[in-house]
Structure formats: C-alpha cells, structure tokens
Amino acid sequence: MASMRLIYVYLMVLFVKIRSCYGMSKCLLPEKNAGLYVFGDSLFDAGMNNYINTTSDYQSNFPPYGQTFFHYPSGRASDGRVIPDFIAEHAKLPLIFPYMHPDAEQYYTYGVNFASGGSGALVETAQGLVVDLHTQVSYYKNVRNVLRKKMGNEEAKTFLSGSVHLFSVGSNDYGARFVTKSSVLLRYSKQQFVDIVIGNLTNAIKEIYNLGGRKFAFVNIGPIGCTPVIRYSVKGNKCNEDMTESARLHNVVLPRMLQKLEKKLAGFKYSVFDFYTSASQLMKHPSKYGFKEGQVACCGGGAYRGDDSCGGRRGTREYELCENVNEYVFFDSPHLTDKANHHISNLMWSSNLTFIQPYNLKQLFQL
C-alpha cells in the first residue's frame, strides 16, 4: 500500500508539474482562484474507498482497473480516469486528491474529492461500508476550517464561493431499493422514495451553502436500469423498468428543487447535466461516438459481462477482459471506460444547452 501511494503521488506531480510549497500559501492557489470539490459515488470516486474499512465489493484498487492511464489500480472504477479528473483538467487544475489521501491537505486549494463508491444520499445505503453524503459534507466542513486558518476568513470565503461543488448522488439509493428488496425501502412509493433522496441532497446543498459554497453542479441519474450488471440479474437480460422509472422521476424533481433554491439562496448558481440521455445515446448508438460496443462491459463474465467479477475479487475469481477497451462504453458491469468518461466530461464542460442547464461547467467556473 505504501509503495502504491508513492507511485500515485509521483504520477500526480509528473502529470500536472506542480511545484510543492510548504503549508498552503498563495503559490498553491489555482489559476482562476477556484477549486473543484467533488461529492458522490463511484462515478466520481478517485480512490476514497482505498482508505476506509470496507470490502472489495466497494473498491477498485486491483488489476485490471487503472490499466490504461495510471498503469496501476488507483482505486477508480475505470480502466483510467473518472469524470472529475477530466473536469479538473479542463479547469486547469491538477488531479484532485481523495480526502483521505495522506497528501490531500497540501492541495486543498485545488479542491478535494470526497466521493465514495457505493454511497448514496441516504445513510442506510451500504451503511458502514462507504462514506455517505452526510459524512462527505462533514469532511468538507473540516476542509473549510483548514482553509480559513491558512488563508484567513475573508479570503477563504471568497475562494469557496468561486469554487465549483460537483455531485453524483442517488444511483445507489435506487439500486439498493430494487436490488436488495429491503422491506424498509420498499414501504415507500417510488415518488416518496425519490422525495426522500432529493430531500437529503437538498439538506447537503444547504449545509455547503452555509459553509460558503455558491456554485453547484450535478449529473442526474443515468440509465441505471439498463447497465450490464442489472441486465445480467434480470430474467431475460432485460432492463429493470422499476429502476428506470425511479431515475426518470428523480431527474424531473432535481431541477425543480434547484430552481427553488436559486430563488431562496442569494448568490446560488447551479448546473444540471443530463447524464441519463447522454449515457443512453452512448449505449444505443456507440458507433456514432467512436465506440463499437455500448451494451456489454469490457471486463466481467456472464451475459453482458455483467456478473461484477472484474478483477476476480468479488466472489467470482474468473473473468473475461476485452482486447481493446477503447471500443467499449462500459469498463466493468456498472462503470464507464476512460474514453466514455472523457466523452461525458467534454459535454459537461462545453456543451451547448442540449445536455446541460442553465450553464455548462466552463461557464459555471467563470461566473
């Protein structure tokens, strides 16, 4: 583990050509005086789960993860980078460290990644095995306090108000409801459950706002009912329509909630990316975007390579691995390849208003 951390730090420094500074002085302030603070699940996790007491079901720190970009398993659920890595590059920031990385504090002014694979808006989602959203926000408060000590209250306030807070939250909550068949979760109607998830997300946004955050960016829920892992588990290898309906309900309620917050909270700015539509297009029409396979994962086994066996450490030791990962939208049964993440992040950064409203991320950073 120690050697892997050293490799991670070396690659990080090599990739962004950062000159280290002692403490946190202005030599570490990003170019536009705005950092990137990331919250959520495995779509965004940059290795947070490497540092918590969990199981391999919620980790990706073993081969063949990381094979194409880092050339070692960094903890990202991809063959390479995840979406925040590309967003940081667009924003002329270095790769953002996971909060629990031993060197993260040196680079708080570039941002921090709190995302934890398997987590959700609800504390009950994979409870005890992941870092839930409420806890992620408490870690953000710790970061805010460090910044205030290092920069001074006013400068820290200005910095955080100009920074972007990026979220991917909810997919695992809806997955837990339908995959685990929990009687506690199923006692609510789909709409009631969506309202609970959105309510928890709203509370997190308000807390970050009270801590100084003003710019918020979100990806909505993707086509979770049609991922390889779900198709593998459904009779006839079909999509799970209950999960699909929950995703659609969430994606209707999310922008309405944000519009209400914009009216109530002074200076509040937001952006919502339509991950559902963009990912669905990749899955249905892969050749249009430079891929060959949009339904089957590169790594795994069974129908659609959806048995979650990638890497051989989740109960099934044997798995298949495709020859050319760049031909695939999915790397493992629920997660995208480096190439697909790059495509999505480009849309998030500079797309016109077809996929993202009311600002793309480039505009949000510049506000």
Sequence-distant (6+) residues with CB within 8 A of 366 are: 32
Q: How far apart are CA 205 and CA 201, in angstroms?
A: 6
Kindly report the number of other CB atoms within 10 A of residue 148's CB atom.
17
The beta-strand segments (E) located in 169-297 are 215-219, 269-273
Strands (E), 278-360: 299-300, 320-321, 356-357
> Where do we find the tokens 């967003």?
87
Kindly state the tokens that stand for 9: 């730090």
- For 90-137, strand residue ranges (E) read 111-113
Going by C-alpha positions, the residue among 233, 117, 247 that lies closest to residue 179 is: 233
Q: What is the DSSP letter of 357?
A: E
Q: Where are the beta strands (DSSP E) in the chain?
A: 36-40, 111-113, 164-168, 215-219, 269-273, 299-300, 320-321, 356-357
Give the bridge partners for 112, in sequence order.
Answer: 37
Active site residues: 42, 332, 335
